[in-house]
């Protein structure tokens, strides 16, 4: 098609400024670095409270603990970026630890792949239910959460299943270069690979357009439904991988093993600065958020806060983080 250049100047250029002013404000810039600032501040505070904290041993232990949370939050971040939420991740993760422990004797080393694939498939089913039946994602995954917990209880006879064969996951307890726990390395790899795939392909604009404005994305002809199902699939698969990490660390699978990770995972996402309304954010942010949450978790006993207070803290930081990151002036209706 040969469209000639339009040379005629606008007849009334003064009436319409070409660009509306709006460089990011100082507050916005601080918000965007918030997770890293929080991480450093927290490390400093904990070191002051207990100078022994800043040792290789305790830091290694901290990142090792954080690995399943990082993976769980990374997967769910994708769903949040698409404008939805996946509340089933923790329950699906628990169910997957049961799968893993049950299948390990028969499948051996393959169990890892099979468990991740099974969890991914379950995630996909939730995604399909969301887009085909047009049910809000939080309802689908809330239902999923309840169902997965119950299934896990039923098939495990409501008790832990011991992992006898420790060879299949023994490698997860090794260290890369002597210091970096393998499980955390895998978590980093997951974040890096997913981020890279999104960054280098049209997926980034699909995901962001879907999250910012689903109707605009749909009317631009982008594959909104496929992108959403993919996000739920990855979220499910990540829950499966987190389950493998948990089972290898605890040498067992249990129907409630990961249940207390839902709030920390959501906290990691919002503390990282990913907008709960969709569109804005990244998996790297959730990595930083997960580290903040983990430091809080291991740090509370150091400063003498009883662990029963932990849940109060998660609740408070989720609300506070959303209050800080959500530009409420632009959101007309808060549901």
Partner 1 sequence: MTSVTTNLQDGPAPVNALEVRGLVKHYPGVKALDGVDLVVRQNEVLGLAGENGAGKSTLLKALVGLVRPDAGEIWVRGEKVKLRSVVDAADHGIGMVFQEQSLVPNLTAAENIVLGSEGAGVRRGIYRWDTMRKLAQEQLDKIGSHIDPLARTDSLSFADRQMVEIAKVLRIEERTSNPPVIILDEPTSVLESAEIETLFTQVRRLREFASVVFVSHRLDEVLDVCDRVSVLRGGQSVGEVPTAGAEPADLHRMMIGSTGSDDHYHEGLAEHSDEPARPRLVVKSMSGSTFRDVDLEVRAGEIVGIVGVHGSGREDVCRALFGAEPTLSGEVTLDGEKLDLSGTRGAVASGVGYVPAERKIEGMVGPMSVADNMMLTKQKARCTGPMVVPKKQATLVDQWIERLSIRTPHRGTQIGRLSGGNQQKVVLARWLVAGDIRLLLLDHPTRGLDIGARSEVYRLMRELANSGVATVLLADSLEEAIGMSDRIIVMNDGRATKEVSCPSGGKPTPLDLVKEMV
Residues that bind partner 1 (CB under 8 A): 1-13, 15-22, 200-202, 204-205, 208-209, 212-213, 215-223, 279-280
* 50 or 204: CB nearest partner 1: 204
Residue 83: which of 243, 232, 276 has the closest Cα? 276
The neighbouring-strand residues paired with 176 are: 180
Residue whose CB is less far from partner 1, 103 or 212: 212
Cβ-proximal residues to 30 (8 Å cutoff; 6+ apart), any chain: 37
Residue carrying the six token digits 């505070």: 45
- Least spacing, CB of residue 167 vs partner 1, in Å: 37
Task: Report in angstroms the alpha-carbon separations of 271 from 37, 306, 324.
Answer: 11, 22, 9
The rounded distance, in Å, linking the Cα atoms of 31 and 27 is 6
Rounded Cα distance, 238 and 190, in Å: 9
Nearest-approach distance from CB 35 to partner 1, in angstroms: 19
In whole angstroms, how close is the CB of 141 to partner 1 at the nearest point? 25
Q: How many residues comprise the chain? A: 335
User: Tokens 């009334």 belong to which residue?
Assistant: 12
Q: Are 49 and 196 in contact (CB under 8 A)?
A: no
When the beta carbons of 1 and 333 are compared against partner 1, the nearer one is: 1
Gap between the Cα atoms of 241 and 149, Å rounded:
17
What's the closest the beta carbon of residue 116 comes to partner 1, in angstroms?
23
> With respect to partner 1, which residue has the nearer C-beta, 278 or 299?
278
Taking the least distance from each CB to partner 1, the nearer of 222 and 233 is: 222
211 versus 253: smaller Cβ distance to partner 1 = 211
Smallest separation, CB 182 to partner 1 (Å): 30
CB of 196 to partner 1, least distance (A): 11
Q: How far is the CB of 84 from partner 1 (least distance, A)?
A: 17
In this structure, the number of other CB atoms found within 10 A of the CB of residue 198 comes to 19
Closest CA to 267 of 314, 310, 309: 314
User: From the CB of 83, what's the least distance to partner 1, in Å?
Assistant: 12
> Residue 64 or 285: which CB sits closer to partner 1?
285
User: What kind and span of H or E run contains 176?
Assistant: strand 175-176
Rounded Cα gap, residues 191 and 177, in angstroms: 20
- DSSP structural state of residue 4: P
Q: How far is CA 73 from the centre of its chain?
A: 2
Considering beta carbons, is residue 10 or 26 the nearer one to partner 1? Answer: 10
Ordered DSSP codes for 140-202: HHHHHHHHHHHHHHHHTTTS-EE----HHHHGGGSEETTTEEHHHHHHHHHHHHHHHHHHHST
């Amino acid at each position: 098609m040969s469209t000639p250049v339009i040379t005629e100047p606008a007849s009334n250029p003064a009436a319409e400024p070409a660009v509306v002013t709006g460089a990011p404000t100082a507050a916005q810039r601080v918000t965007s670095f918030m997770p890293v600032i929080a991480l450093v501040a927290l490390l400093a505070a904990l070191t002051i409270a207990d100078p022994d904290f800043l040792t290789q041993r305790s830091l290694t232990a901290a990142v090792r603990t954080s690995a399943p949370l990082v993976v769980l939050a990374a997967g769910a971040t994708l769903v949040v970026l698409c404008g939805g939420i996946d509340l089933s991740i923790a329950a699906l993760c628990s169910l997957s630890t049961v799968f893993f422990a049950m299948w390990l004797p028969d499948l051996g080393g393959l169990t890892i792949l099979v468990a991740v694939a099974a969890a991914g498939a379950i995630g996909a089913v939730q995604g399909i239910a969301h887009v085909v039946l047009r049910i809000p994602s939080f309802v689908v995954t809330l239902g999923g959460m309840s169902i997965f917990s119950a299934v896990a209880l039923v098939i495990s006879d409501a008790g832990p299943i011991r992992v006898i064969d420790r060879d299949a996951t023994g490698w997860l307890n090794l260290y890369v270069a002597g210091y970096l726990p393998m499980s955390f390395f895998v978590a980093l790899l997951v974040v890096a690979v997913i981020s890279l795939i999104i960054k280098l392909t049209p997926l980034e604009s699909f995901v962001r357009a879907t999250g910012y404005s689903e109707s605009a994305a749909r009317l631009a002809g982008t594959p909104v439904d496929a992108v959403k199902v993919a996000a739920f699939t990855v979220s499910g698969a990540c829950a499966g991988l987190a389950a493998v990490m948990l089972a290898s660390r605890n040498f067992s699978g249990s129907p409630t093993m990961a249940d207390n990770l839902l709030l920390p995972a959501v906290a990691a996402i919002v503390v990282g600065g990913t907008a709960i309304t969709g569109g804005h954010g990244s998996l790297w942010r959730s990595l930083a958020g997960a580290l903040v949450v983990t430091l809080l978790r291991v740090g509370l006993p150091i400063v003498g806060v009883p662990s029963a207070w932990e849940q109060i803290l998660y609740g408070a930081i989720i609300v506070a983080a959303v209050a800080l990151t959500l530009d409420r002036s632009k959101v007309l209706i808060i549901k």
